[in-house]
C-alpha cells in the first residue's frame, strides 16, 4: 500500500506531538534528549533545507552546545585529577590505582580490536563496494604519524596551547605531573591549592548542570543536521557496514562489559540506570566531551568516590575509548576490502598492534577517529578514497561508538573502585543480591 506523502508527514508529526506531550509530563532530561533525537530526525527528513550549508542551519545550535561543554573539559580534568592525586595521603594507592586502570584499559581495548576485526571479516561489508566519493580530499587533512610524532604528541610544550587546541591527553599529562608535584609540597602550602581545585571542580559541575539544560536542543539540532545533510538514502547504500559496526558494539557490550560487571558483582540494573543520561548525550552528540561531565557526576551519584572518578575517568577518556578502537579496526579492513586488497591474518594482526598505539591519541570529539584512520591506512599503503566515502555516514557510526566509549569508561571507573575496595557497603551488598538474581 502506498500512502500520500502528506499523510505520512502528518502521521510523523502527530507522533512528534505525542512525544512532546509525554516529555512535558515526564520532565526528565534523558526523556527530553530521546524526544529531541526523534524530533531532529523527522525535521531533518521532512525539511532538509534546515541543513543547507549555504545558509545558517540548525547545526549552529549543536555547535553552541558543544562549545559550551568544551569550556568545562580542561578546568574540570585539571581540578579533579589534581585533587584525585594530591588529595591522597598515600601516594602508593595512586600508583596502584593507575596500574589497575591501565591493565583494564589495555585488556578491553584489545578485545574491542579483535571483535572489530572479526565482525568485518565475517560481514565482508567492503567486498564489492561501489560507492561514489561524496567528499573531496581537501575536506580532511591528516599527516602521516611517525613513532616520534606519536610519542611527542602526548607531552605538552605549552599548557595554554594544549587547552586552546583541545589536546586532552596533554592536559591529562600536565595535570598528573602537577598533582604529583603538589603532593610533594608541605601540608600548609598544599592545602591552599587543594581547596582551590576542589572549589573549581564544584563550580564546573554546577556550570555543567546549567549547560545540560540546553542538551535536548543541541542533540536535536545535531540529528536534524545529519539526516538533512546526508539523507536517509546513504543508509541503504552502506547498511551492511553500519549493521556490522552496531552488531559488533552490541557483542562487545554484552560479551565483554556485562560479564565484567557481573564478575565484579556490580548491581547491573542500577548501573544501567546511572549511565542512561551520559550514554544518551554521547549517542546524540557523537562527542565524548559532551558526556564527560555528566558521566563523572553520575558515577559519583552511583557511589564511586570522587578520588576514583577523578583519576580513572579522565585517564580512560584518553586511553579507554573502546568504541572508537573497535570502529578503527573494522573501518581499516573495510578500506582494504573496498579497494580490492586482500590482507592476510598476519597483516591484520600487525594492523591491530598499530591501532593499539594510534588509537590512544583519539580525541573525544566527533570525527577524530577519521584522522587516525587516515594515518593508519596510509602507514599500510592502502588508498585513502574509501576513507572519504566513510565520512558520508561517519556521524551515524560515530554516535554508536561514542556511546560505547562513555559506557566503557563508566565500567572502568566502577571496576577500579571495586578493586580498591572503595565502593560503599550498600552498593557491594546490592551487587551480591543482583548476582544471585541474575
CB atoms within 10 A of CB 338: 23
Report the distance separating Cα 101 and Cα 103, nearest Å. Answer: 6
Helix 394-419 × helix 368-379 angle, to 10°: 100
119, 330 contact by CB (below 8 A): yes
Report the distance separating Cα 312 and Cα 261, nearest Å. Answer: 16
Strands (E), 174-295: none
- Render pLDDT for 263-306 as a digit per residue (tens, 0 to 9): 988 899 999 999 998 999 888 877 777 788 889 899 999 989 88
Locus of grid cell 539526516: 227
pLDDT of residue 247: 94
Report the distance separating Cα 101 and Cα 304, nearest Å. Answer: 14
Domain spans of the chain?
47-437
* Backbone dihedral angles phi then psi of residue 29, each to the nearest 5 degrees: -60, -40
- Render pLDDT for 121-179 as a digit per residue (tens, 0 to 9): 888 887 765 543 333 333 333 444 456 766 777 788 888 888 887 676 688 788 888 98
Report the distance separating Cα 298 and Cα 391, nearest Å. Answer: 32
Q: State the pLDDT confidence band at 32, using cuts at 50, 70 and 90.
A: confident
Report the distance separating Cα 197 and Cα 201, nearest Å. Answer: 6
pLDDT of residue 138: 37
Half-sphere exposure of 79 (CA within 13 A, CB side): 19
The mean pLDDT value for 107-114 works out to: 90
Q: Output the average pLDDT for the chain.
A: 78
pLDDT of residue 255: 94
- The candidate with the shortest Cα–Cα distance to 252, out of 112, 105, 118, is 112
Length of the chain: 438
Contacts of 83 (CB under 8 A, 6+ apart): 179, 194, 197, 198, 201, 306, 307, 310
- The candidate with the shortest Cα–Cα distance to 96, out of 393, 423, 421, 345, is 421
178, 21 contact by CB (below 8 A): no
Fold of 47-437: 1.10.3860
Residue 318, CA distances (Å) to 147, 219, 269 in order = 18, 23, 27
Amino acid at each position: 500500500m502506498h500512502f500520500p506523502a502528506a499523510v505520512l508527514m502528518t502521521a510523523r508529526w502527530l507522533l512528534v506531538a505525542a512525544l512532546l506531550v509525554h516529555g512535558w509530563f515526564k520532565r526528565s532530561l534523558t526523556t527530553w534528549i530521546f524526544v529531541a533525537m526523534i524530533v531532529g530526525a523527522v525535521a531533518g527528513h521532512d525539511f532538509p533545507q534546515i541543513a543547507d550549508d549555504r545558509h545558517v542551519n540548525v547545526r549552529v545550535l549543536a555547535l553552541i552546545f558543544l562549545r559550551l561543554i568544551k569550556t568545562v573539559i580542561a578546568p574540570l580534568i585539571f581540578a579533579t585529577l589534581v585533587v584525585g592525586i594530591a588529595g591522597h595521603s598515600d601516594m602508593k594507592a595512586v600508583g596502584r590505582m593507575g596500574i589497575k586502570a591501565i591493565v583494564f584499559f589495555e585488556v578491553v581495548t584489545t578485545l574491542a580490536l579483535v571483535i572489530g576485526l572479526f565482525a568485518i571479516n565475517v560481514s565482508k561489508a567492503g567486498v564489492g563496494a561501489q560507492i561514489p566519493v561524496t567528499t573531496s580530499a581537501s575536506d580532511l587533512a591528516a599527516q602521516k604519524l611517525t613513532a616520534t610524532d606519536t610519542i611527542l604528541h602526548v607531552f605538552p610544550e605549552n599548557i595554554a596551547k594544549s587547552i586552546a587546541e583541545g589536546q586532552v591527553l596533554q592536559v591529562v599529562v600536565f595535570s598528573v605531573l602537577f598533582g604529583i608535584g603538589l603532593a610533594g609540597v608541605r601540608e600548609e602550602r598544599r592545602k591552599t591549592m587543594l581547596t582551590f581545585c576542589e572549589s573549581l571542580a564544584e563550580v564546573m559541575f554546577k556550570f555543567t548542570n546549567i549547560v545540560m539544560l540546553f542538551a535536548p536542543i543541541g542533540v536535536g539540532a545535531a540529528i536534524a543536521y545529519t539526516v538533512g545533510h546526508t539523507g536517509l538514502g546513504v543508509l541503504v547504500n552502506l547498511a551492511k557496514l553500519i549493521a556490522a559496526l552496531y552488531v559488533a558494539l552490541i557483542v562487545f557490550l554484552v560479551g565483554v562489559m556485562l560479564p565484567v560487571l557481573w564478575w565484579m558483582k556490580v548491581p547491573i540494573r542500577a548501573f544501567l540506570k546511572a549511565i542512561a543520561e551520559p550514554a544518551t548525550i554521547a549517542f546524540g552528540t557523537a562527542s565524548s566531551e559532551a558526556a564527560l561531565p555528566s558521566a563523572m557526576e553520575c558515577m559519583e551519584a552511583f557511589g564511586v568516590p570522587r578520588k576514583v572518578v577523578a583519576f580513572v575517568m579522565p585517564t580512560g577518556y584518553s586511553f579507554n575509548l573502546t568504541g572508537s578502537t573497535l570502529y578503527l579496526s573494522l573501518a581499516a579492513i573495510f578500506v582494504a576490502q573496498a579497494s580490492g586488497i586482500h590482507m592476510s591474518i598476519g597483516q591484520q594482526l600487525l594492523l591491530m598492534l598499530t591501532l593499539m598505539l594510534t588509537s590512544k591519541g583519539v580525541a573525544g570529539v566527533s570525527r577524530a577517529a577519521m584522522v587516525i584512520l587516515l594515518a593508519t591506512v596510509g602507514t599500510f599503503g592502502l588508498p585513502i578514497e574509501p576513507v572519504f566515502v566513510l565520512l558520508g555516514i561517519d556521524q551515524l557510526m560515530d554516535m554508536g561508538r561514542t556511546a560505547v566509549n562513555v559506557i566503557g569508561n563508566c565500567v572502568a571507573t566502577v571496576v577500579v573502585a571495586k578493586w580498591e575496595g572503595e565502593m560503599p557497603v550498600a552498593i557491594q551488598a546490592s551487587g551480591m543480591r543482583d548476582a544471585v538474581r541474575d
